[in-house]
């Protein structure tokens, strides 16, 4: 799996991450349970979200390189909502969620943050991510404005800081499929944003 690793900060700025060196054992498949164990070690050893994401990126790439079943998973977007989610791992009382997510061509998500560190690795299709930052005024304390966008292709990895605001749009004629990984969500800080009114609502 080749592509760029992007990091989006809490203020919507984005840049390519530096690769973190790691040693791969090419004699054994890197299975999901091993990935989860290594991921737990990263979470225990690194408290800074930005540094965590830089350490997690190579693990995700190694998993996807070794787990072709993820790329051929039969996940179709729902015809009514335009998207679908398949949970691969979500354990009660453990702050980690692993998913496959599909978006129908032309589908657009609400503008939102995740209130947790997150990582999206695109497996198929093309996805435009538009980033926003808060630009409050007295009348609209949660007003936001666009910062820019990135077009993700298969092999690209997008790392999101907890307060990064974005929305996604599936481009082209085929659904997008992505491998998504999130930490523990702080629901008091998770919002959907109304672009026109400049308001934010918890969800």
Mean pLDDT, consecutive 10-residue stretches, the chain (203 aa), reads: 88 82 64 94 96 95 88 81 93 90 95 94 96 87 89 96 95 95 87 68 59
- Asked if 58 and 70 touch (Cβ cutoff 8 Å), the reply is no
pLDDT digits (tens, 9 = 90+) for 123-154: 999 999 999 998 888 888 778 899 999 999 99
For the chain, the domains span 5-202
**Homologous superfamily (CATH) for 5-202:** Jelly Rolls (2.60.120.10)
pLDDT digits (tens, 9 = 90+) for 56-70: 999 999 999 988 887
Residue 109: DSSP 8-state = P
**Rounded to the nearest 5 degrees, what angle is found at the Cα of 122, between the Cα atoms of 93 and 88?**
30
pLDDT, residue 200, reads: 62
User: What is the β-pairing status of strands 157-160 and 5-8?
Assistant: parallel
Q: What is the CA radius of gyration of the chain?
A: 17
């Amino acid at each position: 799996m080749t592509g760029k690793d992007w990091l989006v900060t809490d203020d919507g700025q984005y840049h390519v991450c530096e690769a973190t060196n790691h040693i791969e054992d090419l004699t054994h498949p890197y299975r999901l349970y091993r990935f989860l164990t290594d991921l737990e070690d990263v979470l225990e050893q690194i408290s800074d979200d930005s540094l965590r994401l830089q350490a997690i990126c190579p693990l995700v790439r190694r998993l996807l390189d070794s787990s072709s079943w993820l790329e051929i998973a039969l996940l179709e977007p729902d015809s009514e909502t335009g998207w679908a989610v398949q949970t691969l791992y979500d354990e009660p009382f453990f702050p980690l969620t692993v998913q496959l997510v599909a978006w129908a061509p032309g589908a657009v998500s609400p503008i939102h943050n995740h209130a947790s560190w997150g990582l999206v690795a695109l497996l198929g299709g093309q996805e435009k991510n538009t980033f926003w930052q808060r630009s409050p005024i007295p009348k609209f304390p949660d007003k936001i404005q666009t910062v820019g966008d990135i077009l993700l292709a298969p092999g690209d990895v997008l790392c999101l800081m907890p307060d990064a605001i974005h929305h996604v749009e599936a481009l082209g004629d085929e659904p997008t499929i992505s491998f998504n990984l999130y930490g523990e969500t702080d629901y008091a800080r998770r919002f959907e944003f109304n672009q026109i009114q400049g308001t934010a609502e918890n969800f």
